[in-house]
Amino acid sequence: MTDALTGREDTQRILDYAENVAKEARKALTAEFNQKHKGIPFNTTSKILQDDLMAWYVKRDKNLKLSFEATNSAKLGEVRSVFVGESKRVRFKVHADATFSMAGSTPESPCYLRELNVTVDKRAFSN
């Protein structure tokens, strides 16, 4: 019989798992975004990225709940989104930072995904 994990150990195990899933999300969403959303106007990217990330998490693991918190796309060509993730009693933040190549200098210009990072912020958690 195995020993039950302490609260802190269980929290760390869940955060490690969430981090691994975030790495998978980055790889899967980069490929998906480049296939489905090439040349879309930049002003639509934050909503599409948000919807795609939340849908991917639902498909990947129903026990990892993700809800949208905020997006910052103040700098043209960059989108920074923050989500609140939850699994069991552990809450954490997920950051999705995307950089796009722009084919113009307006928000309506076509853009192409250059880089996507999905990370788990271990400092912002509670159980």
State residue 119's pLDDT score: 93
Alpha carbons 115 and 23: distance in angstroms, whole number: 13
Q: What domains lie within the chain, and their CATH numbers?
A: 7-126 (3.10.450.630)
Averaged pLDDT, 61-86: 89
Q: Which of 33, 67, 70, 38 minimizes the C-alpha distance to 52?
A: 33
Averaged pLDDT, 51-64: 91
Rounded percentage of the chain residues whose pLDDT exceeds 90: 54
Report the predicted TM-score, pTM, of the whole model to 2 decimal places. Answer: 0.85
Mean residue pLDDT across the chain? 87
**Residue 1 clears pLDDT 50, i.e. is over it:** no
